[in-house]
Structure 1
């Protein structure tokens, strides 16, 4: 979404997994860009393309997750490859750009939903990382010289995981699995940089960023942010679950929204509020400045 829409977003469901700006918006701002346009909204030509494109689809992963109609990461790269073949973008464009690759755990959610076990998950995680590595190699082969890939956030701290403890405790076993994913990811990025004899790939450490904000309740280099109950979401289904933004056949809301979204880290069952993402971005900013010091 373009930055001009931000003023309409905070405080209510608006088709995003947040009440306003998300990580990509803050990263774009850091680089001096407007938020990249969604690929599905693309209009060829003009200034919007100079800010890049966002190929992400909510709920997608490296594999097919919740139905084959949802483009997985390989298909999303196909979309970009097609634009390069059509000369909408060139290798020069890619060499002067930053590629952001986000993997948020949807592959694991789909695995569990399809009957996967905790024991089997240990064997599934390397498969996810191996496919991610193939995708990263392909992006590099297209000409990318700077690729940021996100580590997995502490999934055990998401509201859908902490509801059973009245939003008081993270799920330790879930976070152990996340730790294994992130360990393999770090090894993969190190190997890719070694194989390409470059520093093309770097990790945005969302795990430690989320953990820092949650432990310090947002009081981290941003004095105006404070999350008293950081594991509790702002927007929740009236009866149960996380149907934020849903309405019944008569248009009646099936959700409630907290009085002050700025005081909540999580918006719904899995994603931060605008204030939450701002706190996460604040913890990442020093590492971003280091990475782009000579870029």
Structure 2
């Protein structure tokens, strides 16, 4: 092996270890929950822990990762994201991103794996990343290669995030509000197909996230100077979540092999925190901490001379949103704490 290739592998390996180091310490505090389980993550940027390419603008660029691990590490936030907190609750180290599977110690794989890829959905979106079906197929390939056994899968939890990329892509390419209800039905139908796909692979506990209040994202609240949520999307989000609830209920009624499907109510916890932010030490509900100096720029944008075209707030821990679409680590922690007071224990048993 030549010296350049050795150096590249060493740097990648070192980055991954930094990427995970803080999570192992936190996970050790929660071993009382389910230390024998493994966690497999599928979906989008709300749970992606580093699968997107470093060439993409976003999670591998400054100032992403400034809170944890102190530099960009592939998460769409200033720090940890939802998948990290789910792993924390289960007493696990956060599952290694799929793309790092060949450069980490083999014992890292025993915690599960993260296949999520920012910007993707159940269908193909404008992001050239793997949709949900492709992610699940990637997991199945590892099963075929005997990286994971049926025993591993049976005792594991599969978490699926479908946070709205299909809908933003629909609006960008179609724009027909009239056709939205039928498209929402198709998204939920495909999500259901993917949940059944995971069941057939052997998972006995499959959890899917509800759709968050899209009208409260900074991309929507910008039209009111970040003062209030956009209520026009409320009915659409409600339809998605109602259809998803009906679908998951039917799956549980139809299954006869002890598989349990569950919904993690992200919508309810987002709403709860946003309606009472002070109880979580959050002072800014809607304005993102990191944003472009104009509408043509996003968080992390630079010009041809590498001059920053974005601004960052002084205290990310006091804001709910990090950029136009994603929560801060503080917000995810608040959502996680709200979930813990409600049904998290029953869902992630």
TM-score by length of 1: 0.92
Distance 2:198 2:318 in 1: 38
Task: For residue 291 of structure 1, report the CA deviation from its aligned partner.
Answer: 3.2
Q: Please name the residue that 1:56 is paired with.
A: 116
1:231 aligns with 2:286: yes
Q: Please name the residue that 1:184 is paired with.
A: 243
Contact 1:218–1:279 (CA under 8 A) maintained in structure 2: no
Task: For residue 9 of structure 1, report the CA deviation from its aligned partner.
Answer: 3.6
Q: Which runs of 5+ in 2 are unaligned?
A: 1-15, 26-64
The equivalent position to 2:221 in structure 1, one of 158, 162, 167, is 162
Q: Please name the residue that 1:118 is paired with.
A: 177
Aligned ranges for residues 73-88 of structure 1 at < 5 Å?
A: 73-88=132-147
Deviates more, 1:80-89 or 1:6-15: 6-15
How much is the aligned-residue C-alpha RMSD, in angstroms? 1.9
Task: For residue 3 of structure 1, report the CA deviation from its aligned partner.
Answer: 3.1
Distance 2:346 2:142 in 1: 31
Distance 1:132 1:29 in 2: 25
Q: Please name the residue that 2:106 is paired with.
A: 46
TM-score by length of 2: 0.78
SS of structure 2 residue aligned to 1:64: coil
Aligned ranges for residues 144-293 of structure 1 at < 5 Å?
A: 144-197=203-256, 198=258, 200-219=260-279, 225-240=280-295, 243-286=298-341, 287-292=343-348
Task: For residue 48 of structure 1, report the CA deviation from its aligned partner.
Answer: 0.8
Q: Which runs of 4+ in 1 moved over 3 A?
A: 5-9
Distance 2:190 2:110 in 1: 29
Task: For residue 246 of structure 1, report the CA deviation from its aligned partner.
Answer: 1.6
Question: 1:154-212 deviations in whole A, cap 9, x for unaligned?
Answer: 00000000011111111112121000000000001001111104451111000000000
Q: Please name the residue that 1:222 is paired with.
A: none
1:10 aligns with 2:10: no
Contact 1:38–1:53 (CA under 8 A) maintained in structure 2: yes
Distance 2:187 2:222 in 1: 27
The equivalent position to 1:27 in structure 2, one of 86, 93, 100, is 86
Task: For residue 45 of structure 1, report the CA deviation from its aligned partner.
Answer: 5.8
Distance 1:242 1:235 in 2: 11
Deviates more, 1:70-79 or 1:280-289: 280-289
Task: For residue 240 of structure 1, report the CA deviation from its aligned partner.
Answer: 2.2
Deviates more, 1:181-190 or 1:41-50: 41-50
Given the superposition, is the C-alpha separation of residues 45 and 92 from structure 1 closer, same or farther in structure 2, using an over 3 Å criterion? farther
